[in-house]
Amino acid sequence: MKTLTPTSIATGLVAGVTAALLSLSANAQSSFAIVLYAASALPILIAGLGWGNASAFIAVVAGGITASALVSSNFAALIVLITLIPAGWLSNLANLARPASELGGPENALAWYPLSNILAHLAIMVTLGMIAVGAIVGYNDAMAGKLVDIVIETLKAQEPLYNPDAAAIAQLKTVFSLALPLVQGALWVFLLFAAYYIATFIVRVSGKGLRPREDMPSTLRMHRNAIFFFLAGLVLSFMGGVPAIIGALVCGTFGAGFVLAGFASLHFRTRGKPWRLMALWFAYISVLLFTIPVFVILLMGLMDTRRAIALTPAGPAEKKNQNI
């Protein structure tokens, strides 16, 4: 773990204020709001990956205080729970390493915390953060129903002939109450992992990163135990009420992790094939344009779970890292 220095303190303070301002700008740019919210994780990740856990902690605290001072305590709680804390925790996990000999590996080598575990932790953190936010705002079937009513009234104002029957509206409310947490959870996992990927690239190029560059097509998988969380989410989603909402959220967050793993597996399986580029483009475009193809990618992720560990030669950097 890197020692606390004036530079790391200043970096943490700047990162926290920057994260809060990015989140604040999301309120003014509704078209790119979710992207800006996710981008607010970048400064925290960069501070943690490049300057250590203490810098990340300072960044999270500074971001929360800045958001509370500029907007409100509720807004600060929102970004801290779903963005800043997950980002700080990811940077902490990414910096963890231990002697490879403790795991049966070679002497004089460091074994880094597996990417599969980091991805599973991301799904858990997003799930817990969104459950906390949902409790704060009071999200339930009734709130989801009110959102559907607002959408229907808007459609009626634009198209007077639009008049769905009560049964269709009730079914729409039921589907929407589960679809919203599922989609939001999945999208947030995708965006935060993208922020993590970009942050690792930035700190590596700047020479500040500790973790080695990983071959993600071969190492980006979900932990095998994550399957049980995903199955538990499926069971809960059929129970109705708040348990169903939580189950849908779990399916979204952990399902997103398996989709990321599925795409990584697809990249790995198509290496060296002459039709690789065409296959990858087809897969990505199909998922973006349609819904059904994503289940194929999800299945690939579910069928390929493993725990690859990155190794680097042990040296002075070993003293800067924590044990797993």
pLDDT of residue 102: 77
- Decide which of 1 and 46 is more confident: 46
Q: Would you state the pLDDT for residue 210?
A: 79
- The answer, yes or no, to whether residue 30 has pLDDT greater than 60, is yes
Averaged over 1-30, what is the pLDDT?
A: 82
Answer yes or no: is pLDDT of 91 > 90. yes
Q: Is the pLDDT of residue 246 over 90?
A: yes
pLDDT at 31: 64
Backbone phi and psi for residue 222, each to the nearest 5 degrees, phi listed first: -90, 150
Instruction: Report strand pairing: 311-313 vs 97-99.
Output: unpaired
CA 234 to each of CA 89, 146, 238: distance values in angstroms, whole numbers, following the listed order: 27, 25, 7
Residue 172: what pLDDT? 80
pLDDT of residue 83: 92
pLDDT of residue 324: 41
- Please report, for residues 260, 276, 277, 279, 292, the alpha-carbon distance to residue 282 in angstroms, rounded to integers and kept in the order given: 16, 10, 9, 5, 13
Least confident range from 102-106, 214-218, 282-286: namely 102-106
Residue 3's pLDDT is what?
61
| 109-126 mean pLDDT | 91
Q: Which of 37, 42, 3, 23 is nearest to 194 (CA)?
A: 42
pLDDT digits (tens, 9 = 90+) for 147-170: 777 878 877 777 777 777 777 777
Looking up tokens 């190794």 gives 311
- 315 pLDDT higher than 70: no
Question: What percentage of the chain reaches a pLDDT higher than 90?
Answer: 45
Q: What is the mean predicted confidence (pLDDT) over 40-59? A: 92
Residue 115 clears pLDDT 50, i.e. is over it? yes
Task: Select the more confidently predicted residue: 233 or 289.
Answer: 233
Average pLDDT in the chain = 86
Q: Who wins on pLDDT, 143 or 76?
A: 76
Cα–Cα dist 151/155, whole Å: 6
Lowest-confidence range among 103-112, 147-156, 195-204, 305-314? 305-314
- Contacts of 215 by beta carbon, 8 Å cutoff, 6+ apart: none
| For residues 293-322, average pLDDT | 73
* Spatial separation of the C-alpha atoms in residues 76 and 40, rounded to whole Å: 12
Asked which of 20-34, 74-88, 265-279 is least confident by mean pLDDT, the reply is 20-34
Q: Is pLDDT above 90 for 291? A: no
